[in-house]
Amino acid sequence: MTATVVERVGHTSVDDDAELCVTALGPELTAYVAGAASVAELKSWMAAPQGPPWQVRRRLAAAAELVTVFENANQSALTAAWLRELDPAGYVPARVLRLSDGDEASVKALLETATSWALTPAAG
């Protein structure tokens, strides 16, 4: 799963990842998971001639991959809610992503958890 994030970083633009995230998550949550203090800060990073720092690129790629996990499970409307939800271990996925460098271990854990959550039918 993390290979897709690495591939995404190399083969999709950070602008595409950011646009997907803003559409699916909203600008505030996108800025938060990217590590920005505000939407304005994220916009300034995106507008910089060199683009955002590599950690931001990795976080946005991971967030875009998480959006894709939920889209593939026909649960795209739940992506933002899942990112904000406190899991049984006491972690909030959005915070985990924000505090990571988009590193392999963190992204793998997030993708596995998101996949499991998105594919588990709701109790009814």
Can you tell me the distance from the alpha carbon of 92 to that of 73, in angstroms, rounded to the nearest whole number? 21
Mean pLDDT of 89-118: 93
Identify the three-state secondary structure at position 52: coil
Total number of residues shown for the chain: 124
Residue 81 contacts residue 122 (beta carbons within 8 Å)? no
Identify the three-state secondary structure at position 13: coil
Domain boundaries, the chain: 2-116
Residue 63 contacts residue 25 (beta carbons within 8 Å)? yes
The whole model's pTM is what? 0.87
Residue 107 contacts residue 62 (beta carbons within 8 Å)? yes
Mean pLDDT of 4-19: 71
> What confidence tens digit (pLDDT) does each residue in 71-103 have?
999 999 999 999 999 988 899 999 999 999 988
